[in-house]
Amino acid sequence: MNNSIVLGAELSWCFITENHDIGFGIFWKDGEELLEIVPAERLSANLGSIEGSIVCEKVGKYVLEWDNGFSWTKGKNLKYKYELVTKEKKNDSNEFL
């Protein structure tokens, strides 16, 4: 996600995999450093959609990261959607990509 986020914006997400679990976390980018906002963890997105949201408490860039490093021998098909809504009700949304 390459959007610069404003203070108080709501960032929501939904994703599912067609087979096997996957790692997911959200980070805030501070220069070259990534600070963990939503702790990365393995999720069983193959059993149903994973949804969540946060209110952005820092201005800047947020990184949504999916990780298959723990089971790189098993391919994953990932479908995701995110939405960013600011206080002014502007949004940036991607239907399942």
Q: Read off the pLDDT of residues 19-78 as tens digits, 9 standing for 90 and up.
A: 899 999 999 998 899 999 999 999 999 999 999 999 999 988 999 999 998 887 888 899
Domain boundaries, the chain: 4-89
Determine the pLDDT at residue 4: 65
Q: Which tens digit of pLDDT belongs to each residue from 28-38?
A: 998 899 999 99
pLDDT value, residue 5:
73
Write down the CATH superfamily of domain 4-89.
GOLD domain (2.60.120.680)
Q: State residue 91's pLDDT score.
A: 47
How far apart, in whole angstroms, are the C-alpha atoms of residue 82 and residue 84? 7
Beta strands in the chain (DSSP E): 4-5, 10-17, 22-30, 33-43, 50-55, 60-67, 78-85, 91-94
More confident residue, 64 or 97: 64
- Look at residue 86 in the predicted model and tell me its pLDDT: 85
The pLDDT, as a whole number, for residue 94 is 57
| pLDDT attached to residue 96 | 54
